[in-house]
């Protein structure tokens, strides 16, 4: 039995190979995006709003908090009381009350 590849078969194979490579690149891109999203979802970012009388903190989970004294870190807060994710303090926001 003689087997041969016609020009059409070679073109189709090349096109399929290109499609698979594009698919693999897109899958890798989505994996990276998912890893970034999971990292963001594993922490709750707290930003101090500067310009208020009390220590006012805005959180990435959407719940705002007021501290009588100190920062969340100084008060031993390692996790957000609202969402339970790891608490991370980020740079403050300039707010006009």
**What would the pLDDT profile of 13-60 be if each residue is shown by its tens digit?**
888 888 999 999 999 999 999 888 877 778 899 998 876 666 789 898
Between residues 28 and 5, the one the model is more confident about: 28
The β-bridge relationship of strands 55-59 and 43-50 is antiparallel
The alpha carbon of residue 56 and the mean position of all alpha carbons in its chain are separated, in whole angstroms, by 24
The tokens describing 1, both together, are 């039995």
Q: What pTM was computed for the model? A: 0.52
pLDDT at 53: 66
């Amino acid at each position: 039995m003689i087997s041969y590849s016609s020009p059409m078969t070679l073109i189709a194979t090349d096109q399929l190979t290109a499609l698979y490579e594009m698919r693999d690149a897109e899958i890798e891109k989505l994996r990276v995006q998912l890893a970034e999203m999971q990292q963001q979802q594993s922490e709750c970012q707290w930003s101090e709003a500067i310009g208020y009388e009390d220590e006012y903190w805005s959180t990435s989970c959407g719940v705002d908090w007021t501290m009588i004294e100190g920062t969340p870190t100084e008060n031993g807060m390692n996790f957000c009381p609202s969402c339970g994710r790891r608490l991370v303090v980020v740079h403050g926001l300039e707010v006009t009350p």
